[in-house]
Amino acid sequence: MKKILISALLLNLASITAFTLKTEISFRLGTKTCIAKYKENTASIATLLSLHDNENTAIDAFNGLPKDTSFNLFEIHQNNVRTLTCNVNNKNYEFDPNRIFSDSGIDSTLKKYNTGVTKFPKAVITQIKAFSTDLLKAYNERKQNKYTISIHNNTNEGALSLTDYIKPNKYHQEAKAVFTAEGKDLDDFFLVTELNDFNYFKGLNENVVLQSENPTDDGSLSVYCAKNKIPYINIEAENDHKEEQKGMLKIVYGLLKIR
């Protein structure tokens, strides 16, 4: 019996993807740094990008994927919170790393997270722009195919769900089309920039948003990809919905196999 249990355990472990920590890349943010941890698997089909350091359900879902559903992971780390910090002249400036892919996005995120500051030192803006450029360069060198794929988490009935993209809610003008899947949690959804991908997820009864062709420039990666004609997929799931997000990752893997 003991041998049977050990064999079963080894078989289960063998079915989980084994990753190698290939690289740690350091980025300067004034006198502070943040790092990107790059996990690689030689059998992977694409590289996932995790921008928010506190969205750990997505990471757990990635780590729990079976061996036959393999991705690489490019994960940003600094303070285990949503925002990153840039320090210039002994002063900290916080910003959202998913709002730095345009000048207007950088300006807006600095104003949002640094209450009372009306003018930001040029060095802060220069550092964040350089970080944005270097981050994209490092990710693009490792992403393997034409798709940029983000993984994110949200809170139950929190700041973001599929409902927000349905008229008359706050992001309805940012969506060209929305499909609400029967029986699926509205906090678990895909956001895409390509109609073919929207139809793919819709056909599988998955919540999905097709981003507008002319979205508001908030500095997000999805808007950057739309402007630059880069196919983009965001895999968004509620915190603690590990199994749901793992299933969503498997669905994206299936899509990439036929693209």
The pLDDT tens digits for 80-124 are 999 999 999 999 999 999 999 999 999 999 999 999 998 999 999
Q: CA–CA separation, 96 vs 83, rounded Å?
A: 5
- Cα torsion 81, 98, 119, 113: sign: negative
The rounded distance, in Å, linking the Cα atoms of 148 and 123 is 29
Cα gap 116→19, rounded to integer Å: 44
Cα 28 to the center of its chain, rounded Å: 21
pLDDT digits (tens, 9 = 90+) for 162-176: 999 999 999 999 999
Candidates 1.10.3470, 3.40.630, 3.40.50, 3.40.720; CATH matching 17-258: 3.40.630
Q: Please, which pLDDT band fits residue 180 given cuts at 50, 70 and 90?
A: very high
Q: Which amino acid is at 102?
A: S
Query: Which residues are within 8 A (CB) of 115 and not within 5 positions of it... i.e. 6 or more apart?
Result: none
* Cβ(88)–Cβ(121) below 8 Å: yes
- Higher-confidence residue of 15 and 102: namely 102
- Residue 20 — very low, low, confident or very high, per pLDDT cuts 50/70/90? low
